[in-house]
Amino acid sequence: MITRTRLAAGACALLAALTAGLAFPAGALAGEPTGEDAPKVNLVLDVSGSMRARDIDGQSRMAAAKQAFNEVLDATPEEVQLGIRTLGADYPGDDRQTGCKDTAQLYPVGPLDRTEAKTAVATLSPTGWTPIGPALLKAADDLDGGNGSKRIVLISDGEDTCAPLDPCEVAREIAAKGIGLTIDTLGLVPNTKLRQQLSCIAEATGGTYTSVEHTDELTDKVNQLVDRAAAPVVTPVATEGAAACAQAPTLKSGLYTDREEFGKQRWYRVDVEPGQELRASVSVGADRAVNPSYGVLLRAVTTHGREIVRGESAGNGRTDVVSTGLRYPKAESDEEDAPAEAVCLQVTQSFSAASGVQTTPGLPLELTVDVVDAPSEASDVASFGLGRGWWLLGALILAGFLAGLVWGWLSRWRVAVWRTN
């Protein structure tokens, strides 16, 4: 029974995610790139002195990064304009002011000449400081112009050494420009302070943070991010859910990111007009060590607290992301000016931190919201398996009744035959 329930929940989540992803009209989502300009990616590589450390598959961090870059350059899609920027590659001295200006464009953002880019990467040698903030500012300028997707992929093994230009504030400043630029970060060292800084940078622009400790992991992740830039993606918009529906932000159709504390819940509101359908899905990721056995629950609730529909899913520690979804059609109204219904979306997760793991900041949450005109059979679709199962219940009762009649008739026939013999 538990297996069937989880299977049904997973199917509902997949359905909601697919329909939400397919139904967004062009230009309807916040942060969505417009136009048909080529996607741009700027790979920002830390070439500071600490990249000499030999702790990645028996080779130095720099050697692992070079190997990964060569494989990424070979696999980069033709339509992607790719550039490479370095930080800490040229100044070996002790003057902080000079070291914090040490960032340069190794290969300009544009059509990719793989041989030329590989040759440029081969010349790199671990050298100086770690000016992450200044490098991000320059990297954003490298991507200026055009309406295509823009992505910075930052690979570093250490914290920024050029404060007070805080890299997190730099990322927030870039996000505030509204240019649809996403920053993804990869950390080469499982260091708590590094993770916090790189997570903060990524979160500010709706990007991702990943800790990598092997060359193949680095290659796979950078390839994934470059491919993602080539795909028609939507830039998530940062939002902040509330502790109760009454204080929740009202969301329109779009893709949103948030943070949710362990074992807590977040509330959001969506206005649904009569004749429209709400489709929502949520994914919660574990960006640190968590205990096995966890789940996520997404509920659509009225402002008075009555549950409308829910979706839920569970995990057993084999994956670090758990997702679910739901659909809710708002019936047509006989009134011409019937008001929209405020639907409250509640996201609850049951992750728990492993021993010794920090619980702040909260876990990354991605919420997809889509409000569309309901299809003609919307009510029947939503009722099947999503909490409004009256039709299904009636069918089961009828089937049970007929099965009972047939079984009773067969039993009497067998008894009659037995008595005859």
Helix (H) or strand (E) holding 68: helix 61-75
Do 172 and 100 fall into the same domain? yes
Do 71 and 199 fall into the same domain? yes
pLDDT of residue 411: 65
- Exposure string of 261-287, with b = 16+ CB inside 10 Å and e = fewer, is ebeebbbbbbbbebebbbbbbbbbbbb
Do 172 and 306 fall into the same domain? no
CB 309 within 8 A of CB 386: yes
Which segments within 263-406 are labelled E, that is strand?
A: 265-272, 276-285, 294-301, 307-315, 321-329, 341-349, 363-373
Radius of gyration of the chain (CA): 27
Beta carbons within 8 Å of 300's beta carbon, 6+ residues apart: 278, 280, 307, 308, 309, 310, 326, 328, 343, 344, 345
Do 51 and 181 fall into the same domain? yes
Do 216 and 321 fall into the same domain? no
pLDDT of residue 139: 94
Q: Tens of pLDDT along the chain (421 residues)?
A: 333 333 333 434 333 333 333 333 333 344 444 446 889 999 999 999 999 999 899 999 999 999 999 999 999 999 999 999 999 999 989 898 899 999 999 999 999 999 999 999 999 999 989 999 999 999 999 998 888 889 999 999 988 988 778 898 999 888 877 677 899 999 998 888 888 899 889 888 888 888 888 998 899 889 888 888 777 656 678 899 999 999 999 999 988 999 998 888 999 999 999 888 899 999 888 777 888 888 899 999 999 999 999 998 887 766 667 888 998 988 777 677 788 899 999 999 998 888 888 888 888 888 999 988 866 543 344 433 444 445 555 666 777 667 766 766 766 666 566 666 6
Residue 403 lies in a domain: no
Considering Cα of 241, then 245, then 249, then 253, what sign does the dihedral take? positive
Do 284 and 320 fall into the same domain? yes
Residue 10 lies in a domain: yes
Amino acid at 367: L
Q: Residue 268: helix, strand or coil by DSSP?
A: strand
Q: Which residue is listed with tokens 């609730």?
A: 301
Do 221 and 261 fall into the same domain? no
Residue 278 lies in a domain: yes
- Domain residues for the domain of 323 are 2-30+236-382
Amino acid at 29: L
Residue 254 lies in a domain: yes
pLDDT of residue 329: 87
Do 226 and 240 fall into the same domain? no
Burial of 38 (0-12, 13-18, 19+ CB in 10 A): middle
pLDDT of residue 105: 95
Do 198 and 252 fall into the same domain? no
Q: What angle do CA 394, 399, 400 make, to 5 degrees?
A: 100
Total number of domains constituting the chain: 2
| Residue where one domain finishes, among candidates 173, 206, 230 | 230
Domain containing residue 336: CATH number = 2.60.120.380
Residue 73 lies in a domain: yes
Residue 63 lies in a domain: yes
Residue 377 lies in a domain: yes
Do 190 and 298 fall into the same domain? no
* pTM listed for this prediction: 0.53
Beta carbons within 8 Å of 335's beta carbon, 6+ residues apart: none
Domain containing residue 133: CATH number = 3.40.50.410
Do 197 and 333 fall into the same domain? no
Residue 144 lies in a domain: yes
pLDDT of residue 232: 60
pLDDT of residue 332: 78
Q: What is the secondary structure of 168-201 as a DSSP string? A: HHHHHHHHHTTS-EEEEEEESS--HHHHHHHHHH
Do 245 and 317 fall into the same domain? yes
Q: Which residue is listed with tokens 């914090």?
A: 100
From residue 293, how far is each of 27, 280, 318, 329, 349 by CA, in Å? Answer: 39, 24, 9, 32, 11
| Residue where one domain finishes, among candidates 211, 230, 249 | 230
| Residue where one domain finishes, among candidates 230, 248, 264 | 230
pLDDT of residue 421: 60
Please tell me the distance from the alpha carbon of residue 372 to that of residue 353, in angstroms, as a whole number. 38
| Residue 197 in tokens | 């800084």
